[in-house]
Structure 1
Amino acid sequence: MEQKSSPLLKSSLTYGLYAALISIFLNVVIWAGGIMESLGLFGSLIVALLSFVISFVILFIFAKNYRNKEFEGYISFTEAFKFVMMVTIVSTVILVIYTYIFHSFIAPDYMENLMASMQQKTLEFMESRGVPDSSIDQAMEQFKEIPTIAKTLRQAALSGIIGGGIISLIVAAIVKKKVEDSY
């Protein structure tokens, strides 16, 4: 049984849009709920890990649906990787545009407020643990530089593509399924 050609671009655009909309929704919930501000620096690590897991699950579901719908349940590693990577690229482009709009028009002071909140939480944490003042001063210096919009966009694009590439490799390895010989 030979694999049929698939509408890679159309499916990638569709699923990429879905992935971006899910991510935007989650970002709005995090922003509106003040979750990052309330969790502080360690919370941002938790949010990043949860984002990675959610992205993995979403891309796994999309790849499995693509395999079953377009390839009758069978797909090569290469085809699966191309699909998931294309979904990641489409989603990342949309998310970079959203990030620009968010930081430029919706909440231009968000990053400054977030950094101030994280600085305060970090200070409280370090003081409660008896960290020496010199170490606290050194840590507080790192919060003085607020990332520019260009740096934020570059970071969003890089993390989307690199993280997406890693997830794409893992998902493709899981969803690949060879056609069994029918002798």
Structure 2
Amino acid sequence: MQNNKGIIWKNSMNYGALVGIVLIIITLIVYVLDMDGTSMVLGILNYAVLIGGIFLGTKYLRDKTQNGAISYGRCLGSGTLIGLFSSILVALYTFIFYKFIDPDALEKIFIMMEDQYLQSGLSEEQVEMSVNMMRKFTTPGMMALNTIMGSTFMAFLFSLIIGAFVKKKPVAGFSAYQGSEIQDVEEVSDSNEEK
């Protein structure tokens, strides 16, 4: 029988890959249709996909591999790992996209930010200084790294809440984590007294 950590990692990789692929497809659709990639609706959709993936993946782990029971800690770990694996896929896509597919996309982002800063009332000097600073830290590699850190952190936060709903105590007399029956404490103490 595969050990518990292996089961959790495999399940998290599978659901993380699923979430990552869905997020990449959404990003590609936004790019092909030339939609606003910074819209609040898109952000909410991305979080909904992540939350849904964490919930479904952790629930599957509980119901199919843990005999219907899972601790809060395992829920938290499962959800965070799902977020980590999905973010690695999205980060890889982000790096490839901005480095090789459309390197000019970053310049479009800087121009858009410049316009937003000017509309907010910042002086031209302040805008230039802000955009130059942003250029130093907004590279394909940094964007990929930020994707991994940010998405994993958000997955952790979402898992804190999701874990409260998905966790479930094992049925008395049955070990959810071993898949085998265990003796009640009274039975063990009775058998020890007989010896």
Settle same-fold status: TM greater than 0.5: yes
Separation in 1, partners of 2:157, 2:29: 26
Name the Cα RMSD after superposition.
2.7
2:142 corresponds to: 151
1:86 corresponds to: 81
Displacement, 1:28? 0.9
1:140 maps to 2:127: yes
> What is the SS of the residue equivalent to 1:36?
coil
Q: Looking at both structures, which has the greater relative contact order when contacts are Cα pairs under 8 Å and sequence separation is at least 6?
A: 1
Separation in 2, partners of 1:81, 1:11: 14
Displacement, 1:140? 3.0
1:64 maps to 2:55: no
TM superposition score normalised by structure 1:
0.76
8 Å contact from structure 1 (residues 36, 114) kept in 2: no
Identity %: 21
Separation in 1, partners of 2:25, 2:12: 20
Q: Which runs of 5+ in 1 are unaligned?
A: none
Separation in 1, partners of 2:89, 2:45: 20
8 Å contact from structure 2 (residues 12, 57) kept in 1: no
Residue correspondences, number: 167
**Using a 3 Å threshold, how does the CA distance of structure 1 residues 7 and 46 change in structure 2: closer, same or farther?**
same
Separation in 2, partners of 1:73, 1:121: 51
Question: Which of 167, 170, 183 does residue 176 from structure 1 map onto?
Answer: 167
8 Å contact from structure 2 (residues 97, 103) kept in 1: yes
Displacement, 1:18? 0.7
8 Å contact from structure 1 (residues 84, 168) kept in 2: yes
Displacement, 1:180? 4.1
Flag the structure with larger Rg: 2
- Cα deviations across residues 38-96 of structure 1 (Å, max 9, x unaligned)? x6xxx3x5533442233112211221122111123221112212221222222222222
Separation in 1, partners of 2:139, 2:104: 11
Separation in 2, partners of 1:58, 1:82: 14
Equivalent residue letter for 2:124: D
TM superposition score normalised by structure 2:
0.72
